[in-house]
Chains A and B, each alone.
Chain A
Amino acid sequence: GNSVTQMEGPVTLSEEAFLTINCTYTATGYPSLFWYVQYPGEGLQLLLKATKADDKGSNKGFEATYRKETTSFHLEKGSVQVSDSAVYFCALGRTGSARQLTFGSGTQLTVLP
């Protein structure tokens, strides 16, 4: 079945540091890949997505590239801000009659000023 594995957290960085959160997946076929972000007390917000191999999703300075050969979709940001503190979820989606998302366990990011 489909599964997503994220690097364990929590991750604590200083402001302006480089961020990488690893995500690997197992899936049949060709899934779409997503990063969602969850701020304290809120629901999930879509951060970026990629629908096919070698696609790069980007938003708000965050980037992730769909790597089919390594089954990975690592999230990166060159310079994090305090406001980026949140929980980040990697997810894969499958098409077909039941369009569903499978989420990883999430990575807590704290950015210190």
Chain B
Amino acid sequence: EAEVAQSPRYKITEKSQAVAFWCDPISGHATLYWYRQILGQGPELLVQFQDESVVDDSQLPKDRFSAERLKGVDSTLKIQPAELGDSAMYLCASSRGGEGLEQFFGPGTRLTVL
């Protein structure tokens, strides 16, 4: 069964350092999402891609966060510099697109900023 892959699974960094997360969606899924999930809360959308184009990045803190999906397949989310408040689970999801809304989630990257 096809799955969304994410790496690393866990990342510990010090504040002011740069971190990067990688996501490989299910093959053929045109839409890719990055979410941030703070402990005890539901996921909140950071950025949405349709193929290689950004559809919505209104909730992405652009002064420190960036995301790209250069060839419309895998994607990278970067934080520079990391702050203590960035500690969270970062989830990637993908969907087929069209009228289907079902999203398939990866296992996530747990970020701890010290």
Contacts and interface: CB of A to CB of B under 8 A. Distances in A.
Interface residues of B, number: 27
B105 A43 contact: yes
A100 interface: yes
B21 to A, nearest CB: 13
Interface of A: 4, 32, 34, 36, 41-46, 49, 89, 91, 93, 95, 97-101, 103-106
Given A43-B105, A43-B106, A95 B99 contact: yes
B42 interface: yes
9 contacts: A43-B105, A46-B102, A46-B103, A46-B104, A99-B97, A100-B45, A100-B56, A105-B42, A106-B40
A99 B95 contact: yes
A31 B108 CA distance: 26
Q: Which of A36, A46, A101, A105 has the most CB of B within 10 A?
A: A101
Contacts of A43: 4, 6, 91, 93, 105-108
A36 to B, nearest CB: 8
Interface string B8-31: 000000000000000000000001
Contacts of B114: none
Contacts of A105: 40-42
